[in-house]
Amino acid sequence: MSIADSTATVARRGVSSPLYKVLKGLIAGLFSVAITMVGLLFVTFIIARVMPVDPVLSVVGERATQEIYDAAYKAMGLDQPLYVQFWLFLKQVAVGDFGMSTLTARPVVEDIARVFPATLELATLATIAGVGIGVPMGVLAAVNEGRWPDQLIRLVGLFGYSMPIFWFGLMGLLIFYGILGWVGGPGRIEIYYEDIIPSVTGMILIDSLLEGDFTIFWNAVSHIILPASILGYYSIAYISRMTRSFMLEQFSQEYITTARVKGVSETAVIWRHALPNVMIPLITVIALSYANLLEGSVLTEIIFSWPGLGNYITNALLSADMNAVMGGTVVVGAVFVGLNLFSDFMYKVVDPRAR
C-alpha cells in the first residue's frame, strides 16, 4: 500500500470515527434497554405465577367442570414448563399482545390505550405545577437559607410529605366540592358530556379544544383541577426540596465565590451561574417525579373515580385479572425506562460536556 493510500485510509477512518461512536453508543443503549425490558418482563411473569391466584378460574369460573378446567389450563399453556411459558409470553409482548382481560372482556392493549391518557393528563398537569412552582420555591429557600422564607418553604414541603394522600383527597372533596362547590366532583367529566366529542388523543382537555367545545373543556377543568393540585402538591414538595439542596451545594463552590468577588450581581449569580449547573441532577429529579406520578397515582384515581391506569390495575388485581395486571405493570416499567432515556438525552442538550 502506498503512502497516499495509507493517508486516505486514515482520513476515512478519522471522518467515520464520530459516526462509529454514535452508532456504537446507539447500539449499546438499545441493548441496555432490551436487557432491562426482558428483566422487567421476567420479574412480572414470575410474580404473576407465584401469586395465590388461579388464572384458569378467573376465566372459566368456579362452577366449571374438571374437563373445562383442564381444557382451559392446556389452552393457556400452563401445562408447559415455566421457561416455555415465559418464551411464549415474550413472543406475545413483542407483538403487543397482552391477552384478553377477564374483567372487561376486551384485549388488554385496548384497555390500556383507553385508560392511560387519563393518567397521562393528570400526571402531566401535576408535574407542570411541580416544576413551575417547586423550582422557584427551592431557589428562594436556598437564597434565604436559615431565614423565614426558607423555614416556611421547608414547612410546606414537610406538610406535603406528611399528609396521607387519601386523607388529603377526601378533605379536598369535602371542602372544595361538597361544601364550597368550587370544583367538579369525582370522574373526568359530567356523565351527560361523555362521548359527545370524538376521542383523538384520549385527553379530554386537548380533545375538547381541538373540537372547539369550551363548555366541555371548562367542565373537564373543574374536575381535574383538584386531583391535579393534590398530586402537584406532592411534586412541589419533592422538587422544591431537591432544588434547595442542589442550589446550596452550588453556592458553596469556588466559582460562585469568584463571581461574587468580581462584582457579579446576586441575580446573575443565582440564575446565570448556579441554576444552570443544577439542571442535570434536576432533570433526573423531574423525570423520576413524573414517572412516580404516572404509576403512583393509584389512591388519587380511586378517591376521585379517575379512570386511569392506576385504577385499572387495582381493579384488575382485585378481580384476579392477571393479564391486565401484567400488561399494566409492563407499561409502567416501559415509562420508567423511556423517561430515563429522555433524561440522558436532555443531559446532552443542557450540558455540552455530556456530549
| Domain-located, residue 100 | no
| Domain-located, residue 101 | no
Residues 239 and 340 in one domain: yes
pLDDT value, residue 36: 81
Element (H, E) at 263: none
| Domain-located, residue 102 | no
Please state at what angle helix 279-296 crosses helix 214-251, rounded to 10 degrees.
Answer: 140
Query: CA 245, 257, 269: angle at the middle one, nearest 5?
Result: 65
Residues 258 and 180 in one domain: yes
pLDDT value, residue 296: 64
Q: How far apart are CA 328 and CA 312, in angstroms?
A: 8
Q: How many other C-beta atoms are found inside a 10 Å radius of the C-beta of residue 8? A: 12
Give Cα 310 distance to the centre of its chain: 11
CA distances from 355 to 21, 180, 233, 268, 288 (A): 11, 53, 34, 26, 22
**Residue entry with cell 461574587:** 260
Taking the alpha carbons of 320, 326, 331, 337 in that order, is the dihedral positive or negative?
positive
Residues 89 and 207 in one domain: no
Among the three residues 94, 126, 148, which one is the final residue of a domain in this structure? Answer: 94
Amino acid identity, position 31: F
Q: How far apart are CA 214 and CA 139, in angstroms?
A: 37
Amino acid identity, position 145: E
Residues 240 and 326 in one domain: yes
Sequential DSSP letters for 268-330: HIIIIIIHHHTHHHHHHHHHHHHHHHHHH-HHHHHHTT--SHHHHHHHHHHTT-HHHHHHHHH
Among the three residues 94, 119, 141, which one is the final residue of a domain in this structure? Answer: 94
Residues 162 and 23 in one domain: no
Residues 52 and 141 in one domain: no
Residues 165 and 313 in one domain: yes
The pLDDT profile of the chain, 355 residues, written as one tens digit per residue, is 554 555 445 444 544 566 666 677 678 777 777 888 888 888 878 877 777 677 777 667 677 777 887 787 787 777 788 888 888 888 888 888 888 887 787 888 889 988 899 998 999 999 999 899 999 999 999 988 888 988 999 898 888 777 788 888 888 888 998 888 888 888 888 888 887 888 888 888 998 898 888 899 999 999 999 999 988 898 898 899 999 999 998 888 888 888 888 888 888 888 888 888 888 888 888 888 888 887 767 788 888 888 888 888 888 887 777 888 888 888 888 888 888 778 777 777 766 665 5
pLDDT value, residue 213: 86
Element (H, E) at 203: none
Range of the domain at 53: 3-94
Domain CATH for 277: 1.10.3720.10
The grid coordinates of residue 121 equal: 393528563
Q: Where are the alpha helices (DSSP H) in 99-184?
A: 108-143, 148-162, 165-172
Q: How far apart are CA 236 and CA 143, in angstroms?
A: 18
pLDDT value, residue 11: 46
Residues 62 and 132 in one domain: no
Residues 314 and 239 in one domain: yes
* Nearest-10 Cα torsion for 249, 253, 255, 257: 100
CB 129 within 8 A of CB 293: no
| Domain-located, residue 163 | yes
Residues 77 and 112 in one domain: no
CA distances from 133 to 41, 73, 127, 147, 343 (A): 37, 53, 10, 20, 21
The grid coordinates of residue 220 equal: 373537564
Residues 52 and 160 in one domain: no
Q: Give the number of domains in the chain.
A: 2
Q: Determine the length of the chain.
A: 355
